[in-house]
Chains A and B, each alone.
Chain A
Amino acid sequence: MQTSWIPFVPPSASTLSGKVDALYFYLSGVTVFFTLLISGVLIFFVIKYRRRSPYEIPRPVAGSHKLETIWSVIPFLISMSMFAWGAQLYFQQSRPPKNAVEIYVVGKQWMWKIQHTTGQREINELHVPVGRRIKLIMTTEDVIHDFFIPAFRIKADVVPGRYTTQWFEATKPGKYHLFCAEYCGMNHSGMIGSVVVMEPTEFDNWLSGNTNQQSPAVAGQQLYQTLGCVSCHGASGEGGRGPALAGVFGREVFLTNGQTVKADEAYIRESVVNPQAKLVNGFGPIMPTFQGQISEEQLVQILAFIKSLQGPAQTAAPAAYTPSPTGSAASAAASAASPQAGSR
């Protein structure tokens, strides 16, 4: 739905922004209608039934169950229509599509650090191509912030100790506001930036102009060496004293306490900062914790590296492995080597 010509509405630049606007206009219409209706009736009654003599006493009017029913049921039905519409759209907003390109976001007082899987890093700016589904995997280094893009009608809090996600598909090239929308201290109003949406060829150019940065997966591999993960988990994640990491991302993992968990981003992160919390079945509690020795950005790099480790051939869908923007099964390491791999 094209709403750029309507004043008092931000630019509509994503696939869902028009839908949010449509619901907003419905809500506004109903609000204006009932406000005018009630004020109108009020003003009409107040004038028509104004007191004409100082001692007059009007006849009392009995309440009416019929009226009460009507004006309970109708508002209820209208409310339910709003609920259903809002919930259905919210469902679309909250389920990232499977083949979305992942981009990592780390908030900290008072800036946004953005990490593309192809290596580009940005501060307070997010470059994305038109027409591509983007999934943001976000966390914060300190307090709760909120990544808010009005033009896309999306926002989500970033919470310490966990990853939150949101997704969008931009439809219009342009430069749009990025705000922090959860009060975070002194420079909360300065924690702003831009989302730059580009045509695909422009975006390719931007990517190739910024290739001298490591992809997070490569940086993660280096950390994997320097922090000593290799000694227990093997250079390619084949395992040893510690469980195998190759192909683990997205799979079910069996724990010593009999439970099964899915190895998602939160699990990987927790295993690094609090290894004893979920011990893999068959392994002892010998992994040291890296809490305090590794920043959120570095955790994101480790995460990207582990995601890139492919396991034995028969395992789960490739989308779980490769965060490559091409959607192909090429590993992140390969895409970092060739600049064009970042484009469509």
Chain B
Amino acid sequence: MKAMETFVAPTPARINYLNATYGLKSWLLTRDHKRIALLYLGSISFFFFIGGLYAMFIRLELLTPQGDLLQSTTYNKVFTQHGIIMVFFFLIPSIPATLGNFLVPMMIGAKDLAFPRINLLSWYIYILGGIVTIYALLAGGIDTGWTFYTPFSTTFSNSYVVAAGLGIFINGFSSILTGLNFIVTIHTMRAPGMTWFRMPLFIWAHYATSLVMILGTPVIAITILLLAFERLAHIGIFDPAAGGDPVLFQHLFWFYSHPAVYIMVLPGMGVISELIANFSRKNIFGYSFVAFSSLAIAVFGFLVWGHHLFVASQSVYAGMIFSFLSFAVAIPSAIKVFNWTATLYKASISYDTPMLYALGFIGLFTIGGMTGLFLAALAVDVHLSDTYFIVAHFHYIMVGGTLLAYLGGLHYWWPKITGRMYPEGWGRFSALVIFVGFNLTFLPQFVLGYMGMPRRYHVYPAEFQVLHVLSSAGASILGIGLLIPLFYLIWSMRYGKIAAANPWNLPGLEWQTASPPPTENFELTPIVTWEAYEFAPAEETEIVGKFHGEKVGQA
């Protein structure tokens, strides 16, 4: 294995990016993408915790059919804020801003991102957006649902709509700048020999995500501005009495918010490609198909927003088109799942914590994705729209998918980021607890949904209680499972086993430098002459299933 033969692992306890400079200013004014990634890691964890607290209140209230824990307006604010915090302040930035920021330059052999100061600016913008949103929460909260549908949000809600909208508006620029940085970095700063098709699939996934970020986020920005103008100055754009159209808001909102879910899941898929390949010590089966499927998802993702409007008075014919396209967008994801599974064929699989998360992802993402098909099917979506089926569907992808990928990636690259290993036993244990807790929370919700339990309900008919109790029980297990890594990861930063430069013994470029890396990432700029995930020489490649006469390549 050429890559691994070349580099000598430097010894630890020397200058690295963590100890190169000291002091608060050196962190708050850093231009180092790795430090910025850690700044994000801290702030994103903070918001995740807040979003999780809101989730806890939701599940506690829903233990009983009556509204006995919270008043209805309070409950409405709790689920709204759970959504806003989780979507905008956790899921969208999570993998790109922490793992992406840390690893994109390293995986392509660069010293930093193209625009380090803009990277730091994106973090400050994120913090500013977060502060404005927290102000909105503390001042009284917001009760429109994270979807802000008009005319409730523009005319009828008495909550802090404009403040929360402003927080999200500001936060959007953080997203745009991150995407811009990644695109330029990947295009212009690859090390010599790092061709597009030698790049890890993590990079492809982040490239596709960045395309969605830069094209989609400006639209939510203008939508929020229009919402604010409507609410403050009553311009009438969404008010039928003034000649406007309330459903126009839904089109504008979902034009971004559907691609946004791909911003949330594509980086996760990139992480999974890394975990599957590296913990089975094999190239990803169908590398270029997986790479192109990321791009396909990014493009198709912009064409399906109308599936959120099937029952919203959208025309039947528009519904048909969006339904067709929504089925089409599922195919690239299916291709990924099959390729990941095929990678495991004749592999050498280890059961480390990151691999457990990756395997969990594949199973749960399959369920989440296939339940999406139910919703793409027009006639069934009519029944399922706005029920708990939808809630279960997107939590399978967001939590069962993105969150699991995030945790898996965090564990995988933890030695690279901190120079310490996490305790493997605790890692596997909490992965299991999270998996069990998660399924117990959300599987009953599919049933609840088909039975007709609507979402965003504070009180409900008694016949739904059993399933709600199951779901809340699962949520408590999930909550505990998520708290455990918080403790042992922080513990490991001080007391964890010191990690070697390449503790998993892998060929990726990020592993060919010290753990933690020096500030400039590589002491010498690498020249890349090997393919991605090249554990064994290419000449030894086994061939399975080809068309007659087909030439076999690194397909």
Contacts and interface: CB of A to CB of B under 8 A. Distances in A.
A143 B330 CA distance: 33
A40 B19 CA distance: 47
Interface string B338-368: 1101111111111100000001001100110
Interface stretch (B49-57, B114-122, B369-377, B420-428): B369-377
Contacts of B346: 49, 58-59, 61
B508 to A, nearest CB: 15
Interface stretch (A88-96, A214-222, A226-234, A313-321): A88-96
B152 A143 contact: yes
Given A93-B382, A155-B383, A42 B363 contact: yes
Interface string B139-161: 00001110001111001110000
A50 B457 CA distance: 46
B12 to A, nearest CB: 21
B521 interface: no
Given A38-B366, A143-B156, A63 B76 contact: no
A286 interface: no
A264 to B, nearest CB: 14
Contacts of B156: 109, 142-143, 185
A66 interface: yes
Interface in A20-42: 20, 23-24, 27, 30-31, 34-35, 38-39, 41-42
Contacts of B60: none
Contacts of A180: 454
Contacts of B226: none
Interface in A57-84: 57-68, 71-72, 75-76, 79-80, 82-83
A111 interface: no
B380 A24 contact: yes
B359 A42 contact: yes
A185 B342 CA distance: 48
B359 A61 contact: no
A71 B282 CA distance: 21
A62 B316 contact: no
A35 B348 CA distance: 23
B215 interface: no
Nearest to B154: A143
A188 interface: yes
A45 B349 contact: yes
B459 A155 contact: no
B552 interface: yes
A182 interface: yes
Interface string B514-547: 0000000000000000000011101011111111
B459 A189 contact: yes
A294 interface: no
B341 A188 contact: no
Contact of A185 (B152, B280, B286, B362): B152
B289 A63 contact: yes
Contacts of B281: 51, 56-58
A300 to B, nearest CB: 16
Given A183-B456, A184-B152, A83 B377 contact: yes
Given A30-B370, A85-B377, A157-B312, A65 B341 contact: no
B358 to A, nearest CB: 10
Contact of A8 (B289, B382, B451, B542): B451
Given A59-B540, A142-B151, A157 B313 contact: yes
A63 B277 CA distance: 13
Interface in A143-190: 143-144, 146, 148, 150-151, 153-157, 159-162, 164, 177, 179-190
Nearest to A179: B454
Contacts of B323: 83, 86-87, 90
B456 to A, nearest CB: 4
B362 A42 contact: yes
B367 A60 contact: no
Contacts of B538: 60
B380 A27 contact: yes
B313 A35 contact: no
Interface stretch (B127-135, B240-248, B469-477): B240-248
A153 B553 contact: no
A150 B367 CA distance: 24
Given A10-B451, A60-B536, A90-B316, A72 B335 contact: yes
A93 B538 CA distance: 57
A144 B377 contact: no
B380 A23 contact: yes
A139 B55 CA distance: 33
Interface string A187-225: 111101000000000000000000000000000000000
B363 A9 contact: no
B311 A34 contact: no
Contacts of A19: 379
A79 B300 CA distance: 15
Interface of B: 1, 67, 72-73, 76, 143-145, 149-152, 155-157, 240-241, 243, 245-247, 280-283, 285-289, 311-313, 316, 319-320, 323-324, 327-328, 330-331, 334-335, 337-339, 341-351, 359, 362-363, 366-367, 370-371, 373-374, 376-383, 385-387, 447, 450-452, 454-461, 534-536, 538, 540-547, 550, 552-555
**Which 10 A-B pairs give the minimum distances between C-beta atoms?**
A161-B240, A150-B452, A86-B377, A63-B555, A90-B378, A89-B379, A45-B344, A189-B457, A79-B327, A63-B286
Given A60-B283, A153-B382, 8 more contacts: A8-B447, A57-B536, A60-B540, A61-B544, A68-B339, A83-B327, A86-B381, A187-B72
Interface of A: 8-10, 19-20, 23-24, 27, 30-31, 34-35, 38-39, 41-42, 45-46, 49-52, 56-68, 71-72, 75-76, 79-80, 82-83, 85-91, 93-94, 109, 142-144, 146, 148, 150-151, 153-157, 159-162, 164, 177, 179-190, 192, 273-274, 291-292
19 contacts: A38-B363, A42-B363, A59-B346, A61-B541, A62-B543, A62-B552, A64-B286, A67-B544, A68-B286, A72-B331, A72-B334, A89-B379, A90-B316, A90-B379, A143-B149, A146-B385, A160-B241, A187-B72, A292-B241
